[in-house]
Chains A and B, each alone.
Chain A
Amino acid sequence: MKRLRILALMLPLLALSACKKAPSDSADASASGDIPIGEFASLTGATASFGQSSHKGTQMAVDEINAGGGVLGRKLRLVTEDDQSKPGEAAIVVRKLISRDKIVALLGEVASSRSLEAAPICQQAGIPMISPASTNPKVTEAGDMIFRVCFIDPFQGTVLSKFALSKGWKRVAVLTDVKQDYSVGLSQFFKAHIAANGGQVVSEQSYSSGDKDFKAQLTAIKGTDPEAILASGYYTEAGLIASQARELELNVPLLGGDGWDAPALVEVGGKAIEGSFFSNHFSDEDAAPSIQAFLKKFEAKYGQKPDAMAALGYDSAMILADAIKRAGATDGLKLKEAIAATKNFPAVTGNITLNAQRNADKPAVMLVVKEGKFRYVETVSP
């Protein structure tokens, strides 16, 4: 009898769950007042340093736009939510931004895994999303509402491989952080390109972020006598890898991606990281006026040097503001068309044109660590 009662309760629920939903029209924000722009970032937790950087850049861009009178005669209002660098949280805060704060567009995240959570939600809600620094190709594959202002893993992997080959390094070892999707992607595309272009991956090793001891991997790598090592993970581990490699007298240059761009790389790597190369979105040595102006403003506002994440955060907000201006409206579809039409936008991280896959087409720069500073080496075009 008890069981029957329960079943009776459950059946209608199951039946209801099969019902289809009528298409809903998301209420457009009112035509006057501030324009609410959403941002989600990892302000706390494991990748807090990236999230805080990109947030600073974004905030500065919004302040700058508002100081210049806003767009369409209205001010931008940045609504920021913290996802604590935690899986699952991004989905919730993005839903909150969309349904509670009625944002017209979303900026974020740095980490691809959290952008991947948010992308389907934005796509489904018809809210354009611009990711500043998620390099996983899958992010923008979620649909035509999702954009990014950075290059993607395949491109960065290719850039690093091209650079290694141009230096005459044909025997390369690869050390991947299997816990970071970013590192796995970078290594994967690097390997594919270098193998197809006359190079050879002599050793493939891996670790998980948080590891501190890489001597086992490095000893194995040393046995294969490489000419360079790709350490595709983030800066903390890259610094440790460099110093432990030198201890083992493995004195070949290290290569890395934009995940290296942090002062902590030098703090941890010290002398050992000197002479290593990494690809990045921009170089603060670039004389271009847009870059120098950005550097000056950022230092004045926050009292510190901006990193690539800050520049990308800035660019993402600038491109959005530009698109709102061109669209002349804030509704999702018009905004999406305008963002997609972005062409040769003079951003800090290069002239940005969004391609058919909604990724930014722009060159990467190679930097070298010299005397504790990141010096410009060359620009590599796609």
Chain B
Amino acid sequence: MNEFLQQLINGLSLGAIYALIALGYTMVYGVLRFINFAHGDVFMVGAFSAMYAARWMAPHTAAWPQWLSALCVLGAAMLLCALLGILVERLAYKPLRERPRLTVLITAIGVSQLLEYTAQLVFGAAPRGFPSLITTRSIAGLGGLHLSNIQALVLLVSALLLAGLHFIVMRTRMGLAMRAMSLNPTAAMLMGVNNSVVISFTFGLGSALAAAAAVFYASLYQAIDPFMGVMPGMKAFVAAVLGGIGSLPGAMAGGLILGVLETLVVGYSGLLGISPGYRDAVAFVLLILILLFKPSGLFGKLQREKV
């Protein structure tokens, strides 16, 4: 029982990371109806920029409390990635706005590869250690359960971000414009919404979220490399689809479910009679099942195809 609870905690903390990345996916999809394949790679850039920011700031912030310098690093990474996201959108996706979705998807694959290989060129292929921004401590739980302070922080932050995003989308003028655009871009434009600004804002926000996820991910797992975004990116995509792509609470729920499921499959592979090597297959099997049986996801609305 204890072991099961521990696995559940492990799964939730992994799932919270997926959820953080999935929030960004779902934001972009909700507004633009297109899968930003490069989201996972923006995530990678976030991790590297945080590493360099931390190194650059280290001499200046030595006297500061740890949480403040960590916050500065987080802010720097989010800002850089937001700029990168807006830049990518302007250069690569904007010229394609009226084109078929496949064209955009292929471009997104191109952007993803470009980021990966440029990073490999600049940062090298070997994994790098990530500076510890916050000293890891074990928060002693009940009955020998273990949860580190960073794990707890990740869970907390993803919940906070969800609430913050919900506020932006539901309560601000920009959020209203985003929702209007997602329902009907042409009508929104006629009503005075500046679509380009909304799209840039969405991309910036989504990329900043990716950077935030990256900082927590790297703090948890200490090693970063140019291809680190590929798998988490795909897992987060699955999480977003699972929750109903375009739905913020759905992305959160999807991430947590996927994290827990993956952890349980690995932890109880013996009982299930399969190799733990099937871990990466879990997400894809789940994706296929959900798309076949409930394509709208857990929280999503079904979209009818119109002629």
Contact = CB atoms under 8 A, between A and B. Distances in A.
A binds B: yes
Interface of A: 44-46, 48-49, 85, 178-179, 205-208, 210-213, 215-217, 219-220, 222-223, 236, 239-240, 243, 247-249, 264, 267-268, 270
A207 B265 CA distance: 12
B221 A240 contact: yes
A248 B124 contact: no
Contacts of B127: 236, 264, 268
A48 B124 contact: yes
B231 A210 contact: yes
Given A48-B126, A212-B221, A206 B276 contact: yes
Contact of A216 (B10, B125, B217, B227): B10
A113 B7 CA distance: 35
Nearest to B270: A220
A217 B14 contact: no
Interface of B: 3, 6-7, 10-11, 13-14, 120, 124-129, 132, 136, 138, 144, 146, 148, 217, 220-223, 227-228, 231, 262-264, 266-270, 275-277, 279-280
A247 B146 contact: yes
B279 A208 contact: yes
Given A205-B276, A240-B221, A247-B138, A46 B267 contact: no
A375 to B, nearest CB: 21
Contacts, number: 101
Q: Is the interface of B mostly helix, strand, loop or mixed?
A: helix
In the A-B complex, the 8 residue pairs with the closest CB atoms? A267-B129, A212-B221, A215-B10, A216-B266, A178-B277, A49-B126, A216-B267, A48-B125
Nearest to A248: B146
A211 B279 CA distance: 10
Contact of B223 (A44, A247, A268): A268
Given A216-B267, A219-B267, A264-B127, A239 B222 contact: yes
A45 B264 CA distance: 32
A49 B148 contact: no
Nearest to A250: B146
Contacts of A223: 3
A213 B223 contact: no
A239 B129 CA distance: 10
Contacts of B276: 178, 205-207, 216-217
Contacts of A239: 222-223
Contacts of A205: 266, 269, 276
B7 A208 contact: no
B146, B227, B228, B263: most-surrounded residue (chain A CB, <10 A):
B146
A213 to B, nearest CB: 5
Contacts of B269: 205
A230 to B, nearest CB: 15
A213 B14 contact: yes
B101 to A, nearest CB: 29
